[in-house]
A and B are shown apart, each in its own frame.
Chain A
Amino acid sequence: MTDVLIESRPDVMMDLDRREQGDVRTEEMLVNMGPQHPSTHGVLRVVLRTDGEMVLEAIPHIGYLHRCAEKIGENLQPYQYIPYTDRMDYLAGMNNNQAFALAVERLAGIEVPPRGKVIRVIFAELNRIASHLVSFGTYGLDMGAFTPFLYAFREREMILDLFEAACGARLTYSYLTVGGAHHDVPEGWTERLSEFLDYFEPKIPEYNNLLSYNHIFVKRTGRIGVISRADAIRWGLTGPCLRGSGVRFDLRKAMPYDGYETYDFDVPVGRDGGTDGLPRGVALGDCWNRYYVRMLEMEQSVRILRQAIARLPDGPVIAEKVQGRKLPADETYVEVENPRGQLGFYIQGDGSAIPSRVKARGPSFCNLSITTHVARDVLLADVPAIIGSIDVVMGEVDR
């Protein structure tokens, strides 16, 4: 990894050489990056051991948003716990609702009606687009590009309007719930969604021209923070971080849920630069590829959404009598493909309606744990590039 880095960055090589030869007398310094820092996306504190511009080691310290949500889960019925899942990954509330609901359904043997399943797919994919838009916009901000952020939020606002029309909330939805969706979408909603998709699809190439292929952006993110395939799996990375390293693994394909096996879509992965119109200067598993996988995933989400609108069946959206249902004395662990990776919920029942243990496995939590391994002997300015490309939401890291 260091070889790739050094090859692309003669300036880094010079710094390292001079340090080794002892030409420059420097002192190591500990620098606190965060918890209040614009590029740590919330309250993440990273302690950097620096030598001049070089970061020798970066150690993340988390927990500033810890609310012990798992303890709350031991005191509430599952349907009452749904609003707490919203507040974990607050940029992908729908996906969190879906993950927790699926885990409860698996444990209690609840069957979701067909219309409920399709509605869940629609909202999960819409939220995936909204979440990736934030990721795209803020990553541009981290790299010093302000304009793409405004473009991203313009389109995200339309998605939030659609969510608001369906459930009244713009961020913490609690719409997808145990047994299906809380209620049906309003009349004319799918037509509005189709209009949005027609508007949104041509915007993706526009984003790519604005930011993805921008020379400065590629220079800032290409061949930076390279994670090998083996390391990505060893550190438990999932989602775009795993696929950015070239592993074509997606839970929606490998362990389908909510009928994803019946939709036709591709799973994009990272690639080396210079081929197929990709810019030179990017490498498999680097920050740019992790970012670009998200751009490609938005296209696939649009594809899934169009199929879902076309097949939306009639009927109820929620199973009957889910509130107050007793959970069997058993346990389950279910993961779904969240925008950030695999979000898992462990639920243990004890025969009553309230679970005896609820555990959330946040994808951001696992993805962030690789920071120390990746951000070693990098430039100070590369640390925001690396952390931004992992796309963490601290609400989910700390829970």
Chain B
Amino acid sequence: MTPESICNILKDRFGGVIEDAVLEGARPYALIRQGDNGRWPEVARFLRDDPRLGFNLLRCITALDLLADNKLACVYDFLRVADDGGDALIQPKQTWIFAVRLVTDRDAPSLPSVADVWPAADWHEREAYDLMGVVFDGHPDLRRILCPDDWEGHPLRKDYAYPMEYHGIPGTTEYELTNPYH
């Protein structure tokens, strides 16, 4: 199934919620209008359950820092694994991919969680929260996952300041402390 037809199915069902679609690039995706972010779980359920789409495997959630626009974005990548319960090899013509991008404000970043649609989203959302600071409403257990619980800030943000000290561990090396210049 081509990205165009996937996008048309989404537009037929959700109309203006799908604000834009980038279909020419290296990997096509649809953009959800920021005001309609609350309908994202509904769109996600449709993506998973509609027999024409059937995106049952959430591959990845990538959080992006759009510093220039003062926004954060999340890109959800899906894959369709055409599992009919049979023993046959799943062929290329049964397999298709798509992606959806959501945008949120950088100052109070918040997106609805889809962990109940794809349980795979659980850890991906925790990672996006940990490293980029996107808060997922309705997530069952939104904790930091890679950084320690008492870590400050979100390392993947473009304006992240590296801590110079953590529990008595200096954030710089002895070599740097000697102020070498080359």
Q: Are B89 and A332 in contact (CB under 8 A)?
A: no
Listed stretches A139-147, A181-189, A232-240; interface member: A232-240
Query: Inside 8 A of A369's CB, which chain B residues have their CB?
Result: 119-120, 122-123
A-B contact pairs, 15 of them (CB 8 A): A107-B26, A235-B119, A236-B118, A236-B120, A247-B81, A254-B90, A255-B95, A255-B97, A331-B26, A333-B77, A333-B99, A346-B75, A346-B77, A348-B64, A369-B123
Query: Is the CB of B12 closer than 8 A to any CB of chain A?
Result: no
Query: Is the CB of B45 closer than 8 A to any CB of chain A?
Result: no
Query: Inside 8 A of B90's CB, which chain A residues have their CB?
Result: 247-249, 253-254
Listed stretches B2-10, B36-44, B140-148, B173-181; interface member: B140-148
* 8 Å CB contact of A333 from B27, B64, B81: B27
Q: Are B89 and A229 in contact (CB under 8 A)?
A: no
Query: Is the CB of B155 closer than 8 A to any CB of chain A?
Result: yes
Query: Inside 8 A of A15's CB, which chain B residues have their CB?
Result: none
Q: Are A398 and B146 in contact (CB under 8 A)?
A: yes
Query: Inside 8 A of B27's CB, which chain A residues have their CB?
Result: 106, 331-334
Residue of chain B at shortest CB distance from A66: B146
Query: Inside 8 A of A154's CB, which chain B residues have their CB?
Result: none
**Could you tell me the distance between the alpha carbons of A246 and B87 in the complex, rounded to whole angstroms?**
7
**Could you tell me the distance between the alpha carbons of A107 and B131 in the complex, rounded to whole angstroms?**
24
Query: Is the CB of B110 closer than 8 A to any CB of chain A?
Result: no
**Could you tell me the distance between the alpha carbons of A235 and B116 in the complex, rounded to whole angstroms?**
11
If A248-B88, A346-B62 touch, whether A233 touches B156 (CB-CB below 8 Å) is no
Q: Are B83 and A254 in contact (CB under 8 A)?
A: no
Query: Is the CB of B85 closer than 8 A to any CB of chain A?
Result: yes
Query: Inside 8 A of B60's CB, which chain A residues have their CB?
Result: 333, 344, 346, 359, 361
Per-residue contact bits, chain B 54-82, to A (CB 8 Å; 1 contact, 0 not): 00111110101100000000010101010
* 8 Å CB contact of A233 from B57, B75, B97, B124: B57
Q: Are B120 and A235 in contact (CB under 8 A)?
A: yes
Query: Is the CB of A310 closer than 8 A to any CB of chain B?
Result: no
Query: Is the CB of A296 closer than 8 A to any CB of chain B?
Result: no
The smallest C-beta distance from A60 to any residue of chain B, in angstroms, reads 9
* 8 Å CB contact of B81 from A233, A365, A366: A233
Query: Is the CB of A126 closer than 8 A to any CB of chain B?
Result: no
The smallest C-beta distance from B22 to any residue of chain A, in angstroms, reads 9
Query: Is the CB of A357 closer than 8 A to any CB of chain B?
Result: yes
Query: Inside 8 A of A398's CB, which chain B residues have their CB?
Result: 146
* 8 Å CB contact of A234 from B97, B118, B147, B156: B118
If A68-B131, A357-B62 touch, whether A249 touches B26 (CB-CB below 8 Å) is no
Query: Is the CB of B15 closer than 8 A to any CB of chain A?
Result: no
Per-residue contact bits, chain A 302-335, to B (CB 8 Å; 1 contact, 0 not): 0000000000000000000000000010111111
Query: Is the CB of A52 closer than 8 A to any CB of chain B?
Result: no
Query: Inside 8 A of A330's CB, which chain B residues have their CB?
Result: 25-26
Known: A234-B118, A369-B122, A373-B119. 13 other contacts (CB 8 A): A62-B146, A63-B144, A66-B147, A107-B26, A229-B83, A236-B118, A249-B90, A331-B27, A332-B26, A333-B59, A333-B75, A361-B59, A398-B146
* 8 Å CB contact of A335 from B59, B88, B91, B156: B59
Query: Inside 8 A of B122's CB, which chain A residues have their CB?
Result: 369
Query: Is the CB of B168 closer than 8 A to any CB of chain A?
Result: no
Query: Inside 8 A of B118's CB, which chain A residues have their CB?
Result: 234, 236
B29, B59, B88, B122: most-surrounded residue (chain A CB, <10 A)? B59
Q: Are A267 and B119 in contact (CB under 8 A)?
A: no
Residue of chain A at shortest CB distance from B130: A63
Query: Is the CB of B92 closer than 8 A to any CB of chain A?
Result: yes
Query: Is the CB of A256 closer than 8 A to any CB of chain B?
Result: yes
**Could you tell me the distance between the alpha carbons of A248 and B92 in the complex, rounded to whole angstroms?**
12
Q: Are A248 and B148 in contact (CB under 8 A)?
A: no
Query: Is the CB of A71 closer than 8 A to any CB of chain B?
Result: yes
Query: Inside 8 A of A346's CB, which chain B residues have their CB?
Result: 60, 62, 75, 77
Query: Is the CB of A112 closer than 8 A to any CB of chain B?
Result: no
B25, B57, B88: most-surrounded residue (chain A CB, <10 A)? B57
**Could you tell me the distance between the alpha carbons of A346 and B156 in the complex, rounded to whole angstroms?**
14
8 Å CB interface, B96-146 against A: 97, 99, 118-120, 122-124, 131, 144-146
* 8 Å CB contact of B56 from A234, A334, A399: A234
Query: Is the CB of A342 closer than 8 A to any CB of chain B?
Result: yes
If A234-B119, A333-B99, A398-B146 touch, whether A70 touches B156 (CB-CB below 8 Å) is yes
A253, A328, A346: most-surrounded residue (chain B CB, <10 A)? A346
Q: Are A344 and B75 in contact (CB under 8 A)?
A: no
**Could you tell me the distance between the alpha carbons of A256 and B81 in the complex, rounded to whole angstroms?**
15
Query: Inside 8 A of B64's CB, which chain A residues have their CB?
Result: 348, 357
Residue of chain A at shortest CB distance from B143: A61
Q: Are A344 and B59 in contact (CB under 8 A)?
A: yes
**Could you tell me the distance between the alpha carbons of A330 and B29 in the complex, rounded to whole angstroms?**
11
If A233-B83, A255-B92, A255-B95 touch, whether A70 touches B146 (CB-CB below 8 Å) is no
Q: Which 7 A-B pairs have the closest CB atoms?
A: A236-B120, A332-B26, A361-B60, A63-B146, A254-B95, A369-B123, A66-B146
* 8 Å CB contact of A63 from B75, B85, B148: B148
Per-residue contact bits, chain A 245-275, to B (CB 8 Å; 1 contact, 0 not): 0111110011110000100000101000000
**Could you tell me the distance between the alpha carbons of A106 and B25 in the complex, rounded to whole angstroms?**
10
